[in-house]
Amino acid sequence: MKKKIVLDGLRSVARMGETAVIAAKAGIKYAKDRPSNAKLMRETFEDLGSTYIKLGQFIASTPSLFPREYVEEFQGCLDQTPTLAFDYILKVLEEEFAGRRLDEIFASIDEQPLASASIAQVHAARLVSGENVVIKVQKPGVDTILNTDLNVLHVVTKLLEKAVPKVKFASLADIVEEIKVRMVREVDFIEEAQNLDDFVQYLNLTQNQKATAPKVYHQYSTRRVLTMERFYGVPLTDFEVVKRVSNDPSQVLITAMNTWFGSLMLCKSFHADLHAGNLMLLEDGRVGFIDFGIVGQLNPEVWTASMAFMDALQQTNYPLMAQNMLKMGMTADQVDVNVLAQDLERLFGGVILADPQQVLNTNPADLNDIMLDMVAVGERHGIRFPRDFALLFKQMLYFDRFMRVLAPYTDIYADQRLQMVQTLDPNVLLKQ
């Protein structure tokens, strides 16, 4: 125990030194090359590693708090890192399963990882009982680095406040607290296991046999190790394979969307990082949902207002759009709904011209611009959107992009198979 405390202390000191060196290099680069503040910040965050990469991703998904140039720049903040030597992974496993021999749990573990990100590395394995599994192993020192970084985050944000006056740090304490909560949750694999259990329970409750999520082996899972059922299939990023193995690629995505929309209301949290790499078409034709490390929580009022907003958009009912913006947003100001409606009409009227449906069928970059413009309109009226609304909107961008590739002639949000508003009735939930 004492040894661990000493090691953690040394890691904290080393981390602060590393942070200072990288920050100094960024200062030199700025003085020499004069890159944009947003670009320099993104590159510096990527050099600083896991905590700051997650912070960058937070900025990218929170247009209600950060200026457009920062939101757009951090869209490219990637979480892929070089693989870690297998010896380090074994060391973590031995620490987490202390008192037990690894060969009593795993018959074999593949040394070559399936994936590697800033926080964890994923390896294929086989249990002694014969099941094929994947093990998600937290990289050594991540916990210490995270805590050290979070302790200096207040200092970083103060510097940002001075360097970037346009960044709204009026609610600094709230922002930092939310970042802390979300990051701490992401490195707690017990919580991720609970998210998986919750989703599987929802699938069972609704008798959904067209989608699935990995079974968690709780007896072989800890805060730093997550052992799950291994899925066999192709990710939805492999568009050509999906088109070859599925008679109706659009149906694959419709099934995924119907399942996800149902989870918004029936799960404690929703999958907030459902890019195509986290969706699989399994060998048996089911859609597999994986990686529940990043989740959102959308209260019923915000969800209802969000769906009503989208419906009002399709009807070009701008007063109704304004009313629902107020319901999903947060404001202490008295807002003139008529003036807000006029602003929305100017925004969307110029975008969609005579066909409002186009706003839901345009390319993701355009949709992201629309989201940012809508946020800007809200800000002029004192409205700040909850972050989970931005996560919801981002997910709809992902779905739009997938459908455009998998089924380019399908009008995704006009498709009668799509059930955006779900009920407990499984026949309604899975109606296609």
pLDDT digits (tens, 9 = 90+) for 193-252: 999 999 999 999 989 999 999 999 999 999 999 999 999 998 877 777 777 877 777 788
CB neighbourhood size of 195 (10 A) = 22
Per-residue model confidence as pLDDT tens digits over 30-83: 555 566 777 877 777 777 766 777 777 667 766 556 677 777 777 766 656 678
- Is 273 in the active site? yes
Backbone φ and ψ of 115, nearest 5°: -160, 155
What SS3 string covers 372-413? HHHHHHHHHCCCECCHHHHHHHHHHHHHHHHHHHHCCCCCHH
299 in the same domain as 274 = yes
10-19: average pLDDT: 56
Residue 224 lies in a domain: no
C-alpha to C-alpha distance for 90 and 76, rounded to whole angstroms: 32
Cα separations in angstroms, 285 against 7, 12, 111, 225, 252: 48, 48, 29, 29, 8
Backbone φ and ψ of 326, nearest 5°: -65, -35
Which residues form the domain of 112? Answer: 86-138
Token look-up 């296991």 returns 193
Residue 121 lies in a domain: yes
Residue 210 lies in a domain: no
296 in the same domain as 170 = no
**Is a pLDDT exceeding 90 seen at residue 105?**
yes
- In total, how many domains does the chain have? 3
Q: Supply 310's token pair.
A: 């989208």
DSSP lists the bridge partners of residue 235 as 280
pLDDT for the residue numbered 118 = 76
pLDDT for the residue numbered 106 = 97
DSSP lists the bridge partners of residue 127 as 106
72 in the same domain as 94 = no
356 in the same domain as 311 = yes
pLDDT band at 309 (very low <50, low <70, confident <90, very high): confident
C-alpha to C-alpha distance for 232 and 8, rounded to whole angstroms: 39
Q: How do 120-127 and 106-109 pair as beta strands?
A: antiparallel
pLDDT for the residue numbered 202 = 93
DSSP lists the bridge partners of residue 109 as 125
167 in the same domain as 276 = no
Residue 226 lies in a domain: no
Q: One-letter amino acid identity for 356?
A: P
3-class secondary-structure state, position 257: helix
- The beta strand positions in 139-215, using DSSP E, are 211-212
Residue 245 lies in a domain: yes
C-alpha to C-alpha distance for 396 and 402, rounded to whole angstroms: 10
pLDDT band at 362 (very low <50, low <70, confident <90, very high): very low
**Is a pLDDT exceeding 60 seen at residue 353?**
no
Q: One-letter amino acid identity for 119?
A: I
Per-residue model confidence as pLDDT tens digits over 274-293: 766 788 999 888 999 998 88
371 in the same domain as 347 = yes
DSSP lists the bridge partners of residue 126 as 108, 132
Cα separations in angstroms, 357 against 6, 31, 222, 312, 407: 60, 47, 47, 11, 17
Cα–Cα nearest to 140, from 89, 191, 87, 192: 89
Residue 7 lies in a domain: yes
Q: Supply 114's token pair.
A: 């399936």
C-alpha to C-alpha distance for 196 and 288, rounded to whole angstroms: 12
393 in the same domain as 257 = yes
**Is a pLDDT exceeding 60 seen at residue 170?**
no
175 in the same domain as 59 = yes
> Which listed residue (143, 149, 198, 273) is catalytic?
273
Q: What angle do CA 223, 16, 225 make, to 5 degrees?
A: 15
**Is a pLDDT exceeding 70 seen at residue 259?**
yes
**Is a pLDDT exceeding 70 seen at residue 381?**
yes
CB neighbourhood size of 408 (10 A) = 8
Positive/negative CA dihedral, 402, 404, 405, 406: positive
Residue 376 lies in a domain: yes
Q: What angle do CA 375, 176, 329 make, to 5 degrees?
A: 30
pLDDT for the residue numbered 397 = 63
Q: Which has more confidence, 103 or 407? A: 103
C-alpha to C-alpha distance for 163 and 230, rounded to whole angstroms: 46
**Is a pLDDT exceeding 50 seen at residue 260?**
yes
109-121: average pLDDT: 89
Write the CB contacts of 57 (distance below 8 Å, at least 6 apart in sequence). Answer: 74, 77, 79
Q: What is the pLDDT of the chain when averaged over all its residues?
A: 75
pLDDT band at 407 (very low <50, low <70, confident <90, very high): low
257 in the same domain as 119 = no
293 in the same domain as 369 = yes
DSSP lists the bridge partners of residue 203 as none
157 in the same domain as 70 = yes
pLDDT for the residue numbered 77 = 66
pLDDT for the residue numbered 185 = 78
Per-residue model confidence as pLDDT tens digits over 126-155: 999 999 999 999 988 777 777 777 767 766
C-alpha to C-alpha distance for 305 and 365, rounded to whole angstroms: 24
pLDDT band at 409 (very low <50, low <70, confident <90, very high): low
What SS3 string covers 322-361? HHHHHHHCECCCCCCHHHHHHHHHHHHHHHHCCCHHHHHC
Q: Minimum mean pLDDT among 173-177, 178-182, 188-192: which range?
A: 173-177
pLDDT band at 164 (very low <50, low <70, confident <90, very high): low
Residue 219 lies in a domain: no
130 in the same domain as 66 = no
